[in-house]
A and B are shown apart, each in its own frame.
Chain A
Amino acid sequence: KQEVTQIPAALSVPEGENLVLNCSFTDSAIYNLQWFRQDPGKGLTSLLLIQSSQREQTSGRLNASLDKSSGRSTLYIAASQPGDSATYLCAVNDRGSTLGRLYFGRGTQLTVWP
Chain B
Amino acid sequence: KAGVTQTPRYLIKTRGQQVTLSCSPISGHRSVSWYQQTPGQGLQFLFEYFSETQRNKGNFPGRFSGRQFSNSRSEMNVSTLELGDSALYLCASSKRTSSSTDTQYFGPGTRLTVL
Contact = CB atoms under 8 A, between A and B. Distances in A.
Interface stretch (A10-18, A42-50, A71-79): A42-50
Contacts of A32: 100-102
B114 interface: no
A48 to B, nearest CB: 10
Nearest to B102: A99
Given A43-B107, A97-B56, A99-B31, A106 B102 contact: no
B48 A101 contact: yes
Contacts, number: 78
A41 B88 contact: yes
Given A97-B56, A98-B56, A44 B106 contact: yes
B45 interface: yes
A103 B31 CA distance: 17
A46 B26 CA distance: 14
Counting contact residues on chain B (CB < 8 A from A), the size range is: 20 to 34
B13 to A, nearest CB: 18
Contacts of A99: 31, 48, 94, 96, 99, 102
Contacts of A49: 101, 103
Interface residues of A, number: 28
B11 to A, nearest CB: 14
Contacts of A43: 4, 90, 106-109
B67 interface: no
Nearest to A30: B100
18 contacts: A31-B99, A31-B100, A34-B103, A41-B109, A43-B4, A46-B105, A49-B103, A51-B101, A91-B43, A93-B102, A100-B94, A100-B96, A101-B45, A102-B43, A104-B42, A104-B43, A106-B42, A107-B42
Interface of A: 31-32, 34, 36, 41-46, 49, 51-53, 89, 91, 93, 97-107
The 6 closest A-B pairs by CB, nearest first: A100-B48, A44-B106, A104-B43, A100-B33, A98-B56, A51-B100
